[in-house]
Amino acid sequence: MYKTTLSGQVWRFDSLKTLMAKASPARSGDALAGIIATSAEERMAAKMALAEVPLTDILDNPLIPYEQDEVTRLILDTHDAQGFAALRHLTVGDFRDWLLDDATDTATLQRVARAITPEMAAAVSKLMRNQDLILAASKCQVVTRFRNTIGLPGHLSVRLQPNHPTDDLKGIAASMLDGLLYGAGDAVIGINPASDSLPVLAQLNVMLDDIIQRFAIPTQSCILTHVTNTLQLIERGAPVDLVFQSVAGTEAANSGFGINLATLQEAREAALSLRRGTLGNNVMYFETGQGSCLSANAHHGVDQQTCEARAYAVARHFEPLLVNTVVGFIGPEYLYDGKQIIRAGLEDHFCGKLMGLPIGCDVCYTNHAEADQDDMDTLLTLLCAAGLTFLIGVPGADDIMLNYQSTSFHDALYARRLLGLKHAPSSPTGWRRCRLSIRTARCGSPTPAIRCCPSCRKEPPYEPSRCLEPAA
């Protein structure tokens, strides 16, 4: 039992799970689950009570029982008890103060990252204003490597997302060139395929690999298909760089995705066996999003932001190159409007960085949400000020395959120029050695002209020796 007194009234919360749900900022998903605070006063009382909870109490009282959930077992079995010695005397409120203290620097946060459980990160975020989330996250630094180095201070990477509703190779190639000419793609060139057909997926892998290799583009590729499809592609000899999978914060939700921890481990080992990374061996790319556990009826009464933080424990275990919170994609049933999307994006970035993840954000919304591109501009700017690892680049910010609104190549240019941020470095000369002529346009200007060879107008199947040639 947890309790506090506010305005002469004693407020009682019968479990840590209930307390954390009541202390969460208002959002439609928790309301749908029936766990939200019934008033602003109850929410404030819950925050006050949560501030007095020792971190050891959170560690000793898992929100989902150890025996029932493999994610809980992963969190507790891999907890860094030695690193936790520096934090074990703190309450949640003290932990917030410690994170914001000037003496708590990047090196200190790196030392304790694996001592911080998802529930600790989620709990402290509930006591923080937006500016606190931004400041604390900006002190975290997470660096990963495959063919380039991602996450260094002063850098912002972009996932180039050249999706096409029919997986048309020429359409995908046109979007790729558009993005590359704007300097996008240094995080990854990642396609969400419309098809699960293995021959189509293999064709997409070959196309991306050929373009990256022929034009010496210092990046990596990923086809965002189910992990079991990628395992089959690896077995068939496809040129797979990164293995993708959506992950959630409970065993039941991950079962709904058709995965478990053993499957992810098998996929990571398969990708490592290919030895395709030139600078490092971070071979996994994960995506997450608040509301996934609730949508699968697999949340166990835990609030959606804490479930999201638990997904980061899954991702962290497999040492990914990139983790992407697709913050507004799931829709207004879970994050109703721009205000809720902005708050969730800042929470996700803070919790991910605090736990040691190379986390980026798809700053996005669905067409039936109470949000618009101005809200996305706000969230993008706040996240980049907080040290966002990467964002998404979609032609015109409108994904014609997934039918949602994201960020454009121009948006990435805006952020880089506003804050003086650079591409991910790959070598001493970096992108300057790329044999594709990357002539970055100005913010708001149309894409530079692209000259194609005559053979690129021929019909598929794609033949690596007959496709797009760089501009003279």
Measured CA to CA, the distance from residue 346 to residue 361 in angstroms comes to: 9
Q: Are 62 and 323 in contact (CB under 8 A)?
A: no
Is the CB of residue 184 less than 8 Å from the CB of residue 440?
Answer: no
Instruction: Give the position of tokens 């598929």.
Output: 460
8 A C-beta contact, residue 266 and residue 243: no
Q: Exposed, middle or buried by CB within 10 Å (0-12, 13-18, 19+), for 129?
A: exposed
Residue 197 CB contacts under 8 Å (≥ 6 apart), including other chains: none
- Quote the CA–CA distance of 397 and 367 in Å, as a whole number: 12
* Separation of alpha carbons 115 and 440, rounded Å: 42
Pairing of strands 9-13, 2-6: antiparallel
**Per-residue CA distances from 452 to 173, 418, 449, 465, 470 (Å):** 11, 33, 10, 13, 7
Is 401 part of any known ligand binding site? yes
Ligand-binding site membership of 70 (annotated):
no
Q: Is 77 exposed, middle or buried (0-12, 13-18, 19+ CB in 10 A)?
A: exposed
Is there a binding annotation on residue 203? no
Rounded Cα distance, 277 and 145, in Å: 8
What is the token pair recorded at 224? Answer: 């965002």
How does DSSP classify residue 459? P
Instruction: Report the Cα 347 to chain-centroid distance in Å.
Output: 12
The reply, when asked if residue 245 is annotated as ligand binding, is yes
Place of tokens 């409970």: 250
Burial degree of 135 (CB within 10 A; 0-12, 13-18, 19+): middle
- Consult the annotation and say whether 128 binds a ligand: no
161 assigned ligand-binding residue: yes
Pairing of strands 404-405, 149-150: unpaired
Whether 148 has a binding-site annotation, put simply, is: no
Residue 295 assigned as binding residue = yes
Q: Which of 264, 276, 188, 277 is nearest to 226 (CA)?
A: 264
Please tell me the distance from the alpha carbon of residue 382 to that of residue 414, in angstroms, as a whole number.
Answer: 13
What residues form DSSP beta bridges with 285?
A: 244, 322
299-330 residues labelled b (16+ CB within 10 A) or e (exposed): bbebbbbbbbbbbbbbbbbbbbbbbbbbbbbb
Question: What would the two tokens of residue 211 be?
Answer: 């373009």
Residue positions forming the annotated binding site for adenosylcob(III)alamin: 193, 245, 295, 401
Residue positions forming the annotated binding site: 159-161, 192-193, 245, 287, 295, 362, 401
Residue positions forming the annotated binding site for substrate: 159-161, 192, 287, 362
